[in-house]
Homo-oligomer: A and B are copies of this chain.
Amino acid sequence: MVSVTRQMLEAYPKSINLDRAKLAAVIDTINSCAQACTACADACLSEEAVAELAKCARTDLDCADVCTTTARVLSRHTGYDANLTRSILEACVTACRACGDECARHAAMHEHCRICAEVCRECEQVCRDLLATIS
């Protein structure tokens, strides 16, 4: 099934400096990561061991915010500015790495951290790959 993201990119009326299918996949991965991080932060709050998960919740919240903003920037093509795209992608890589690392520390104990770590790793990778095609 073609995602809404892909359909909307195909309907963009002017040229886009990146491959539309690949870009759509990146945006979808980033949005999934934002969703996982928002949910993981809340799941951490509901655990009895929440005190040990405080840093994890914080990193989740940062990563959710950075991913949401990155997906929005990547969804805009009017007056494209490679500098900003690169800069927010670098922040996204940093946020996903930090969150992936922190969630991985709790993956054996908490399934939500295990899933979130995995999603962060994938998101970090697709952002790195996209960065490589821009720089």
Measured CB to CB, the residues of A under 8 A from B are 3-5, 7-9, 11-14, 27, 31-33, 35-36, 38-43, 45-48, 50-51, 54-59, 61-62, 64-66, 68-69, 71-73, 75-79, 81, 83-84, 87-88, 90-91, 94-95, 98, 102, 110-112, 114-116, 119
Secondary structure of the A contact surface, majority rule:
helix
Do residues A79 and B65 form an inter-chain contact, with CB atoms below 8 A?
Answer: no
Once the chains are docked, how many angstroms separate the CA of A113 from the CA of B33? 27
Do residues A38 and B76 form an inter-chain contact, with CB atoms below 8 A?
Answer: yes
Contacts of A68 in B (CB 8 A): 65, 68-69
Do residues B102 and A95 form an inter-chain contact, with CB atoms below 8 A?
Answer: no
Do residues A45 and B39 form an inter-chain contact, with CB atoms below 8 A?
Answer: no
Shortest beta-carbon distance from A125 to chain B in Å: 15
Among B4, B43, B77, B102, contact of A42 (Cβ-Cβ < 8 Å): B77
Closest 9 CB pairs of A and B: A55-B79, A8-B39, A87-B94, A11-B112, A11-B111, A42-B76, A4-B32, A58-B78, A45-B54
